[in-house]
A and B are shown apart, each in its own frame.
Chain A
């Protein structure tokens, strides 16, 4: 298939680097410019390979030249949306060519040709021919393919700006990619060394808690490192589109958390929130008195409305625990259209550090932006409440309607024996909070286990005595 290509073509050359000491020329890269672009066209002259500008044999050793690679494809079932996916393969396919190094993608490519390849008679034209064959082989949807390789500086410059326009269009489409548009999410268990039951579920609408990897990164990682800590999760059947619950996500999380976590709601802090590793960028926490949600990030040093700083809160809900009322999240997730959508999204947020709020200017709906308190407006429940009242935060409606029920303290009683349980009235006298715990198990006997969730311990007086 590659008999007229003077160098070897094989996947075994993937990852080949050419040291400057062994290099004939460098193309694109940090000292020059370049781009690659796949375009779906109606009319493509199949097999047409064109080199516009100097060929390798017209270059001098050690030269650095710009490079443009335009790949035009045509096929009855080819859609414009596939351009990005197909273009992504350019990196791998170029690397099949022995003596040709290719790094990165789009307008940030960096290529080198080895002295050895040049000596063997390799030309850019051969690169074009090879790519044409490989692309057709990889994507049977491609019926005709034409490749232009540009090395003429003025032409490359023009091409790069044309390509950048295309990338921008593609990115705005990618930003619109949502959980519904894909069949596969990704799971990441990289943090299990210190959070053994934590499984991060990464979806187009939800980046990993650490903020380091999004759905696209996971797709790349699962491919490049199939045995690695990031794996595909077929999402399965949709159980709840608002909360974000899927059958197969549940079963994979169950399996990978060693049976600890049975269900996960991707977009809620209530009932079955996503577990938290320990290295999340921020935590969303429920504030019972306001029936709202606060957010605090790692860089915030002060106290939160719960009376504890980020570090203390992180300590309580991290390590792979599923703690209702808390969920670790990435700052990027706050830019997601599904951000805690089951809980009301930003309408439910009552407090967040100013720095975060400012960085989210374009993402917090305009009507609510000025109504969310920051540490400058107050960090105690009382101050926040008066701020919310002053600004007319929509949460007030919730507090009003809910005031008859007063869901301040949730008491979960798990009965392990069928014995009857007399309910005790908990009288609310004005007292001050002395302790706070997202989950508190009270030692008890008689076959019952009492678990307080989001417990706040109020007392008139705390006495500390020496034994």
Chain B
């Protein structure tokens, strides 16, 4: 199952992604986290270090090719395969692949085509894949999220967050990208604005997967830079995301 987490920047995509992984990691399944947002900090939220991203691998290969450093009889497909495997951060509970920065100048068609196939093949070895997508809608128009089963759109109470959510739903329709399911997740809700936000959320026309309330502990973790996966199991936020996961999985 492939779950993508999208939404406007700063709405809490990484919080949801990392806690989904936390919730999944006790299930004995093979989990792959893909950090597809160059501006995100999913690795930090998961408490792991990334040495090399897919972007780095791509640049490295371009450079090796230009400088004639690749032995004549070896093919780039296999070399990329190896280097992508090398860039995966492996932990006992989950693996992580960071996409890194988009490409520089020059032609990347060939490399990207190979990379897409390699990552597809790699992904087929996992039971669950969680993609923390880049903020905004780019991933839809570039169709990097087209094989996704469940698309989760995270929004806070802001108008722009809601608008982005609505657009993601609409664009997916327009581009005829068929997710099996598309859900909205409301983040940073508090008891005073709950009704109002729920009302606005209804207007987006998206089905709701869950609500995450404002949480001082999460804020504290953010300020201290502590990995969000280290939030205690009793945390309301952790429970809320687990609830969202069971809702998705039961459908």
Contacts and interface: CB of A to CB of B under 8 A. Distances in A.
Interface of A: 15-17, 19-22, 30, 84, 91, 103-106, 108, 110, 167, 170-171, 174-175, 188, 190-191, 208-214, 216-217, 219-221, 224-225, 228-229, 277-281, 298-299, 331-332, 335
B121 A84 contact: no
A106 B74 contact: yes
A405 to B, nearest CB: 39
Nearest to A112: B85
Given A171-B71, A217-B77, A279 B109 contact: yes
Contacts, number: 115
Contact of A211 (B65, B81, B114): B65
Contacts of A174: 72-73
A291 B181 CA distance: 64
A216 B74 contact: yes
A188 B111 CA distance: 13
Contacts of B117: 224-225, 228
B78 A104 contact: yes
Contacts of B30: 19, 21-22
B77 A224 contact: yes
Given A108-B74, A221-B114, 13 more contacts: A15-B121, A106-B71, A175-B72, A190-B109, A210-B110, A211-B66, A212-B109, A219-B75, A224-B77, A225-B117, A279-B107, A281-B107, A331-B66
Given A20-B90, A105-B78, A210 B107 contact: yes
Given A103-B85, A211-B65, A171 B72 contact: yes
Given A21-B90, A332-B68, A280 B77 contact: no
Interface of B: 30, 62, 65-66, 68, 71-79, 81-82, 85-86, 90-93, 95, 105-111, 113-114, 117, 121-122, 124-125
A18 to B, nearest CB: 8
Contacts of A208: 110
B188 to A, nearest CB: 34
A275 to B, nearest CB: 15
Nearest to A22: B30
Closest 10 CB pairs of A and B: A279-B107, A212-B110, A210-B107, A220-B75, A20-B90, A174-B72, A104-B82, A17-B125, A171-B72, A104-B78
A194 B249 CA distance: 40
Nearest to B61: A212
A228 B113 contact: yes
Contacts of A280: 107
A342 B81 CA distance: 38
23 contacts: A20-B92, A20-B95, A91-B78, A103-B78, A104-B78, A105-B78, A106-B73, A108-B82, A171-B73, A174-B73, A190-B113, A210-B106, A211-B66, A211-B107, A216-B72, A216-B74, A216-B75, A220-B77, A224-B77, A228-B113, A279-B106, A280-B107, A298-B105
